[in-house]
A = this chain, B = another copy of it.
Amino acid sequence: MSIVTIIGAGVMGSAMSFPLSDNGHTVRLVGTMLDREIINHVIDTLYHPNLKRSLPNGIECHQLETLENAVTGADLVICGVSSFGVEWFSENIIPRLPPSVPILSVTKGMFNLPDGTLMSYPKFYAGKYPDRSFNAIGGPCTSYELADRDFTHICFCGQNLTKLEEMKKILETPYYNISLTTDIEGLECAVALKNAYALAVTLAVGLSKRSGDTIHYNSQAALFGQSVKEMRKLLSLFGYADENIIYGAGDLYVTVFGGRTRMIGTLLGLGHSFDEAMRELEGVTLESIVISTRVGEAVQTLINAGKADSADFPLLLHVYDIITNGATVDIPWKAF
């Protein structure tokens, strides 16, 4: 059995404790400074107030001050911070980890560089710490359902297939099914793109609610199809294998139904301005907005440089226009 330390006690990081515990491993959960209350709560009652489930018996909880104890002897560190915590994790946490321990990140998203290219978080970390092993999880997985041990199928990516096999052995259960790939950038790009497109698809939820309470699916499906079309073109534009669309499409599917991104897409589709929608959702972490903006900026940069054609991405550019210029929702159907 192994010792696995999860850093970041948000819903996704915490949910990873279920397959780990079911496989008999020692699980240590370390809260960031944002998770102080959560950790106290779990120490007292095992109940995670945001995940709304009790975490597995036997889980060891740590505040950030005892990080060094929590990672002593660890065979694997899972990084459970959100997109907003990536730089913080890189600067403040990685130096405090044993040099040889592999790191598996659940954070989805990418950075956009000034030249219009994208960079995955594992690549970002590896740029700073070239001697460490950075890996990541992509594919459709909501934390609540993982905690409920519902069937899930995701993909681990990393440079070293042997290391990936070891991580798979630690984490795979009958309900948590794992594929492996060494195409880090391709997988991470595909699953980051779904954030932008989940917002696009859920615009249709709000649009159909304008005329009544019934949820319609023709319009969602049309936007879903257009999303798959544009995501494939984006993967190819950024130089990644088209094959990754299978994780992008699955991840898009679960994100459309999954929660926060759907809330903002619906509000926008109902006719709220972007500023109004953001005010209404104050306090909710909206990674989708960050990622949509980054991908939009990257594509706009490539269009300006003559390296991409705006006619290929009408839906993405509309979402980008809504977020950055406050444009009202007006799906460019004729451009599909």
Chain A contacts to B: CB under 8 angstroms: 139-142, 145-146, 148, 150-154, 177, 179, 204, 207-208, 211, 214, 216-222, 224-226, 228-229, 232, 245-247, 249-251, 253-254, 257-258, 331, 333-334, 336
Contact A225:B140 (CB < 8 A) given known A216-B148, A218-B150, A219-B152:
yes
Closest to A248 in B: B225
Contacts of A179 in B (CB 8 A): 336
Closest to A149 in B: B211
Contacts of A139 in B (CB 8 A): 222, 225
Contacts of A225 in B (CB 8 A): 139-140, 153, 246-247, 249-251, 253
11 more CB-based (< 8 A) A-B contacts, given A145-B216, A154-B222, A228-B228: A140-B218, A140-B221, A145-B219, A148-B214, A177-B222, A224-B250, A226-B250, A228-B245, A228-B246, A232-B245, A232-B246
Tell me if A's interface is mostly helix, strand, loop or mixed.
Answer: helix
Contacts of A217 in B (CB 8 A): 140, 142, 145, 253-254, 257-258
CB–CB B151/A333 < 8 A: yes
